[in-house]
Amino acid sequence: MAIQKIFLAGRWCEGRGEPMRSTFPADGSLNAELRAADVNDVNEAVEAAERAWRDPQWRGLVPHQRAAVLYRVSDLINQQLETLAQLQTRDNGKPLAETRGLVASAAATARYFAAACEVLEGELPTQRNSEVMTLSQYQPLGVIAAITPWNSPIASEMQKVAPALAAGNAVILKPAEATPLMALKLAELFEQAGLPAGLLSVLPGKGSVIGEALARHPLVKKISFTGGTGTGRHLAHIAAEKLIPTSLELGGKSPTIVLEDADLEQAARGICYGIFSSAGQACIAGSRLFVHRSLYQPLLARLCELAGGLRLGDPRQPGVHMGPLINDKHRQSVAAYVALARQEGGRVLIGGEAPADPQLADGSYYLPTIIDGLSNDARVCQEEIFGPVLVAMPFDDEQQLVAMANDSVYGLAAGIWSRDFPRAMALAEQLETGTVWVNTYKTFSISTPFGGVKQSGLGREKGLHGIKAYMQQKSLYLALTHQVNRWSD
């Protein structure tokens, strides 16, 4: 098998780092071999990016000309949707039904930020002084370090690359070590779309090497990171030392709330999707379930029925609900949390182990798992498991509910199930999260900002906030008269 090359400042070459392997989580088979980037590659890419974003060939383009590149990328993605979905399924093991949606989302993201680039305006602040007019402009930051996770590669990567380029920056993309292929394919698409050389590099490798070198490089003017809270906190320290902005989309332990007037079937199916789709490998997964005591037993019975009917298997096959976890090391981590739940007094109502099916033995599969009998201060209720594990707890009154839901270091998302919209909206106001869904879950719009509070992150992606996050504001004062300043008389 030929060595997969990396994309460094507009050219395809072998990395100068250690050998890497990309494998299919469903059976461990080889996807690709490549050499990781190293610090020398980082330095070369950043220096080329600094030259490229300052070059009038990019910086001097009017917005609709920059937008044209993103429109072409969107068209290329749509033309190759099935091929790209198949590649992402090989890259991280998600079922094709999910990866098709993620690829379509990436195309829509490129198109949205192309349009945002075209319509983004400065501001003319109101002035009381008739002798001076003020203008507010938005300008690019420079070189952006974009560091992405393995659970939704093409969607996460486009949510950083598209707005950063639309804003006039250059981007160094560091994909997760486990999933380098989609980022490299994205580089190929941008190259085909006519992006000038140097504005995008894709450097696979270890976060402790490539991510660290990028974050600390003096020419990098912003760090945009999606991943674990510990790494995010470390990157925030580096950004603080450099006095540069950072966007951090981190972990979650999202509460899902079922009020006594909820539609039980609607809630059960939404909760099932919210925790078990993507095999629970989502920062927004609804992993803590709070149910009014009057509905607790019937809802748990229905959830167990739904979980028991989910089909695990080869993610390339139609009708599969859950593919494998990303690798066996991660499956062991999920299994250790379930063992901890048992030690803490939890009851495993369904799942709690790897499937017995011998056809799944070569993959990193884990059964959908539902646990009850624990209080919200249990470790499995406080720590992110990042797998198909739901912990259910009853509540009796709303004051108790709000206290439990907010009793977490995280604040990324939440779900509410109720027929009473005024009550649900009032409850949503009290939840300390960046996103709240009512009678739905994991529904997204590229035009709506997304991000977390507390240890779930800083800043927002998507929407017009998403492009301004990669720009810096400048104020201009224009004198409207020829009056001479007589201060020095």
- Residues with a catalytic annotation lie at 249
CB atoms within 10 A of CB 304: 16
Residue 447 CA to residue 462 CA, distance in Å, equals 6
The CA angle 229-231-84, to the nearest 5 degrees, is 90
Which tokens is 107 given? 């195309």
Residue 324 CA to residue 313 CA, distance in Å, equals 8
Contacts 24+ apart (CB under 8 A), 158-161: 158/105, 158/106, 158/109, 158/110, 158/186, 159/109, 159/461, 159/462, 159/466, 160/224, 160/226, 160/461, 161/186, 161/190, 161/200
Cα-flanking dihedrals φ and ψ of residue 108, to 5°?
A: -65, -35
The residue behind tokens 């499937």 is 355
CB 275 within 8 A of CB 388: yes
CB atoms within 10 A of CB 396: 10
Residue 453 burial (C-beta neighbours within 10 Å; 0-12, 13-18, 19+): middle
Residue 213: what residue type?
A
CB 144 within 8 A of CB 171: yes
Nearest to 147 by CA among 84, 278, 236: 236
Residue 478: what residue type?
L
Which tokens is 373 given? 């009998």
